[in-house]
């Protein structure tokens, strides 16, 4: 059932407890949106927690500046909640074992902005016209009637900034810029957030980047140039880099001259190969990734392969050919 953000706010306000769920390997949009709504609910006296299904369970290094992380709990530590709400997950498999938690709750809602969204909760609000779930979270907080605090604002600024590429992506809208200005007016350290998310890399990370960028390939699929790098578990272990840190390599790959699509193939701690892709706009990588069991947007999407690196990549390239 489609529900309005106003209706969602009413249901949240009526709950005694709520669990806000971010997707696996959470980005700033998922975790920031979840934390912001949780802080707003806390102000209303609702017992609110935030969780996500990662194993090992840890907040990505680039997001450890986000405030109120005391609200974050591992899935097995989450209290039974009157209401479970997924934030920024395009499908049920993106929230892993927390899907069952939502399905067993008295109320289960999914809020998302991905074009590839597949309903997985009894109540959903999906709006692909919004460049970030953070904008939906801001509207929910306004509907709750809670004053916007710097903690909420910083979480939401991170959410919107992250999914708009620091307001550089073509998906950036006037609404997102107006929202950012409003959030900045609360006195948040927006420059510090940008530095943490986009401009801080360890020397070990830069060594890994230099190594894998040296093996960059430029292939052709769907009539466009596709830049690809691979990062194996052995590569990461050699430099002491966690899986959650690797996705930011896509920002370097997407700058290769003459390339329309950028791809980072990364092997996770379980040996599976995950694809992160970006498009400059001429190719719909969201459709290609959805065909491989993943999802995302026209210009940013991903999926997890079930075969080796080459077969996983080939599946993506074949999907681009069919686009």
DSSP code string of 189-219: -HHHHHHHHHS---HHHHHHHHHHHTT-EEE
State pTM to two decimals. 0.91
pLDDT at position 281: 85
* pLDDT the model gives residue 282: 87
pLDDT tens digit sequence for 299-313: 899 999 999 999 999
Task: Give the whole-number percent of the chain exceeding pLDDT 90.
Answer: 89
Question: Rg of the Cα trace of the chain?
Answer: 19
pLDDT above 70 coverage of the chain, percent: 100
- Domains of the chain, first to last: 5-198 (3.90.1640.10), 203-322 (3.10.310.30)
| Residue 296: predicted pLDDT | 86
| Rounded Cα–Cα distance for residues 273 and 317 (Å) | 15
Q: How confident is the model at residue 160 (pLDDT cuts 50, 70, 90)?
A: very high
Asked if residues 320 and 291 have their Cβ atoms less than 8 Å apart, the reply is: no
Q: Which residues pair with 160 in a beta bridge?
A: none
State the number of CA atoms in the 13 A half-sphere of 19 facing the CB.
28
pLDDT digits (tens, 9 = 90+) for 89-138: 999 999 999 999 999 999 999 999 998 899 999 999 999 999 999 999 99
**In the β-sheet with 123-126, what is the strand arrangement from edge to edge?**
47-51, 17-22, 83-87, 107-112, 123-126
pLDDT tens-place string over residues 212-269: 999 999 999 989 999 999 999 999 999 999 998 998 999 999 999 999 999 999 999 9
């Amino acid at each position: 059932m489609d529900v309005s953000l106003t209706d969602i706010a009413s249901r949240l306000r009526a709950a005694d407890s709520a669990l806000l769920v971010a997707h696996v390997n959470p980005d700033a949009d998922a975790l920031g949106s979840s934390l912001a709504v949780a802080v707003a609910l806390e102000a209303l006296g609702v017992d609110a927690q935030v969780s996500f299904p990662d194993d090992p369970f840890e907040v990505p290094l680039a997001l450890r500046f986000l405030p109120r992380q005391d609200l974050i709990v591992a899935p097995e530590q989450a209290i039974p909640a009157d209401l479970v709400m997924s934030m920024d997950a395009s499908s049920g498999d993106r929230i892993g074992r927390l899907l069952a938690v939502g399905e067993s709750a008295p109320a289960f809602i999914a809020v998302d902005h991905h074009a590839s969204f597949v309903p997985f909760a009894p109540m959903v609000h999906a709006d692909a016209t919004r460049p970030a779930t953070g904008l939906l979270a801001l509207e929910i907080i306004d509907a709750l009637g809670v004053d916007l605090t710097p903690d909420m604002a910083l979480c939401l600024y991170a959410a919107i900034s992250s999914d708009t590429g620091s307001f550089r992506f073509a998906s950036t809208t006037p609404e997102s810029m107006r929202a950012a200005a409003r959030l900045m007016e609360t006195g948040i350290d927006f420059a510090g957030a940008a530095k943490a998310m986009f401009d801080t890399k360890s020397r070990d990370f830069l060594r890994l980047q230099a190594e894998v960028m040296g093996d960059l390939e430029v292939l052709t699929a769907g009539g466009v140039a596709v830049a690809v790098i691979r990062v194996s578990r052995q590569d990461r272990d050699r430099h002491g880099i966690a899986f959650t840190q690797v996705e930011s390599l896509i920002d370097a790959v997407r700058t290769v001259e003459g390339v329309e699509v950028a791809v980072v193939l990364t092997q996770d701690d379980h040996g599976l190969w995950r694809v992160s892709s970006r498009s400059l706009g001429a190719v719909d990588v969201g459709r290609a990734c959805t065909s491989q069991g993943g999802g995302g947007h026209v210009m940013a999407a991903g999926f997890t392969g079930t075969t080796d690196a080459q077969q996983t990549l080939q599946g993506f390239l074949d999907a681009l050919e069919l686009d």
